[in-house]
Amino acid sequence: MTERQEHSKGGVYSVPGQAFERDSRYITTRITKDGADGYAVEAGRYRLVAARACPWANRTLIVRRLLGLEDAISVGLPGPTHDADSWTFDLDEGGLDPVLGIHRLKDAYLARDPHYSKGITVPAIVDTRDGAVVTNDFAQITLDFSTEWTDFHRDGAPDLYPAHLREEMDALMRYIYTEINNGVYRCGFAGSQEAYASAYYRLFDALDTVSERLETRRFLMGESITEADVRLFTTLVRFDAVYHGHFKTNRSKLSEMPVLWAYARDLFQTPGFGDTVDFQQIKSHYYEVHRDINPSGIVPLGPDPAVWLTAHGRETMGGRPFGDGTPPGPVKPGEEVTPDGRADA
CA 160, 172, 205, 58 dihedral sign is positive
Q: Where are the alpha helices (DSSP H) in the chain?
A: 55-67, 106-112, 138-147, 166-176, 183-188, 193-214, 227-236, 244-246, 258-268, 279-289
Residue 10, amino acid? G
Catalytic: which of 185, 243, 286, 287? 185
* CA 281 vs CA 3, 172, 186, 289: distances in Å: 28, 29, 22, 11
Instruction: Look up 187 and say whether it is catalytic.
Output: no
Number of helices and strands in the chain (H, E)? 10, 6
Interhelix angle 166-176/193-214, rounded to 10 degrees, is: 150
Residue 305, amino acid? P
Instruction: Look up 185 and say whether it is catalytic.
Output: yes
Catalytic: which of 54, 109, 196, 287? 54
How many C-beta atoms surround the C-beta of residue 339 within 10 A?
A: 7
The neighbouring-strand residues paired with 12 are: 22
Residues serving a catalytic function are 54, 185
